[in-house]
Amino acid sequence: MSKDKGRFQQNIQIKNRKASYEYEFVEKFDAGIILKGSEIKSIREGKASVQEAYCFIKGDEVFVKGMNISPYAQASFNGHEMARDRKLLLKKKEIEKLRTKTEEKGLTIVPIRIFINNRGYAKLEIALAKGKKLFDKRENIKKKDQDRELKKLRI
């Protein structure tokens, strides 16, 4: 039993660093991802990217588009497509909340990171986000520079 428990303790976190620079996060959700075959093995190897990905709602379902998962090296000849639309698993209330907020307030749904939870399932953290203006981005850069300078002075 302890052998199986340790197997899922991998700390896989594939982040979308550009998202926090481009957007201000209003609310975050954890969503399951419907994967095919060797996609989970590629994610466990860290061979996935959410840099160019975005989420959209179609009917009563949420999908992520542009999330790249590289083919698994040891997979058979009929592996998976790299960039296909993948369905996200969310509760109906969460989907309805996302739909109303994106329609009325002009917010968007942005994937933040892919991670493996303690049960071994791949999850996608998504956020309801508002686009930052140019001056907001400049403020963030100034703040990061100031924090860096303070750390240098302390050390």
- Digit-coded pLDDT (tens) for 66-121: 888 888 777 666 666 777 899 999 999 999 999 999 988 878 999 999 998 888 88
* Residue 73 φ then ψ, to 5°: -60, -40
At 152, the pLDDT band (50, 70, 90 cuts) reads: confident
Residue 134 CB contacts under 8 Å (≥ 6 apart), including other chains: none
What is the average per-residue pLDDT within 39-59? Answer: 88
- Quote the pTM value: 0.76
CA distance 65 to 33: 12
CA-closest candidate to residue 97, choices 107, 111, 87:
107
Instruction: Name the CATH topology of 2-154.
Output: Small Protein B; Chain: A; (2.40.280)
CA-closest candidate to residue 87, choices 95, 79, 97:
95
Write out pLDDT tens, residues 21-39. 888 889 999 999 998 888 8
Q: What local confidence, expressed as pLDDT, does residue 82 receive?
A: 72
Mean pLDDT of the chain: 84
Q: What's the token pair of residue 148?
A: 């860096």
Q: What local confidence, expressed as pLDDT, does residue 76 receive?
A: 66
Q: What local confidence, expressed as pLDDT, does residue 19 receive?
A: 85
